[in-house]
Amino acid sequence: MESDDPYFAWKKLTIVRFYFHAPGKALPAIGAVLGRDPGMTSALVLNVHQRDLVVVYSRVRRGSRACTFRYFRITDDWKLLQLEPDIVRLKTEGLERLIEVTDLLPDRQIDSSFETLRDFLAESHPAWLEAILTRQVAHWRLFKQDQFLRLAPTRATDAEFAACIRNYPLTALANFKARLTKKQLRSCIRRSLLGGVTYAFDELSPTQIAKAEVQYPAEMILYAAKRLTDEQLRRVAAEAPCTAFKCHPWMPPARQALVLSISYGYCHLLDHSIPRLQLNEEIIRSITHHPAPWLHQHGNDFAALVLGLWHHLELTIPPARLLEMLLEMPEQHREPLLRYLAGRI
């Protein structure tokens, strides 16, 4: 959307998509506002679905929380239809009655990460939008050099590229890794271990990896999980169990078991969309088919594992299901479960 809303820093112009997630709670997904300059139009950028509810708002005056609101529906042919809702009813009932779209997960918005905004800026756009984006990039280049180099690296001159290596090693690793010499690459990693973990893990030394396990365990899981040994993954999962639990669905089954055996005690702290019965079944199947990491984490004692499941998840495995697990479990790992069952006879 192109907006002619007058520029004042206090106005806080915002564009939002509202949707229902799985439990039916209204959630916002905030878009990007680009090219906010006095006397000029700006661009409001948002990823949407057909039938979406889009709200544009800004503050009425400096120091006030009062805002003006405009409501739009995304039509089936991808046009903006302005709504005229009953504002009085909205104040008492909320805007849920205007929402028609339910998503299990929100769309990734343009400003959700610098990579998405960087890629958006590099795409082709209509002339009106390209003019606004060019003005925004020029503003970053003049006043926020780091942001310019992060978001518009293809527009950087050779001198700006050299300045990036000197002053912004993480940005250099993120956007210019292919242009770096071995010496420049090692220098950037030394000055930004986070950048090394995120963008150049294969270039890290064993000492740097060990240091990163302590300093950046969540990033190790997010950006380098496939490159970690089981022991490395076990250590970083213990340091960042919530991140490990969130990421486990995208791992191979054996790795899922390793991560779940460490992080299952923290899953109740997360607002996730996995129903409890589904999670319980996933854990039981994981223990059945990949018992080694679960037993390793609980001292090779199945009774300790059962106690942990009850303590953290109130999960009790019925005797009949335990017998099914025994029959399906790899033979070399059955002995701890046999000991546990024998003790209950």
| pLDDT by 10s per residue, the chain, length 345 | 999 988 888 888 999 999 887 667 788 899 999 999 989 999 999 999 999 999 999 988 888 888 889 999 999 999 999 998 877 677 777 888 898 888 876 778 888 788 899 999 999 999 999 999 999 999 999 999 999 999 999 999 999 999 999 999 999 999 999 999 999 999 999 999 999 999 999 999 999 999 999 999 999 999 999 999 999 999 999 999 999 999 999 999 999 999 999 999 888 777 555 778 899 999 999 999 999 999 999 999 999 999 999 999 999 999 999 999 999 999 999 999 999 999 887
Residue 101 lies in a domain: yes
Residue where a domain terminates, one of 50, 83, 112: 112
- Do the domain assignments include residue 197? no
Helices (H) and strands (E) in the chain — how many of each? 18, 8
Give me the domain span that covers residue 48.
Answer: 2-112
Name residues whose C-beta falls within 8 Å of residue 345's C-beta, 6 or more positions apart in sequence.
none
Report yes or no on 154 lying in a domain.
no
Point out the domain boundary residue: 112, 130, 158.
Answer: 112
What is the domain count for the chain? 2
- Tell whether 128 is covered by a domain: no
Contact call for residues 187 and 172 (beta carbons, < 8 A): no
Query: What are the φ and ψ backbone dihedral angles of 28, each rounded to 5 degrees?
Result: -100, 145
In a domain, 141, yes or no: no
The verdict on residue 176 lying in a domain is no
Q: Domain boundary at 112, 147, 180, which?
A: 112
- What letters, b where the CB count within 10 A reaches 16 and e where it falls short, cover 259-286? bbbbbbebbeeeeeeeeeeebbebbbeb
Answer yes or no: is 252 within a domain. Answer: yes
148 lies in a domain? no
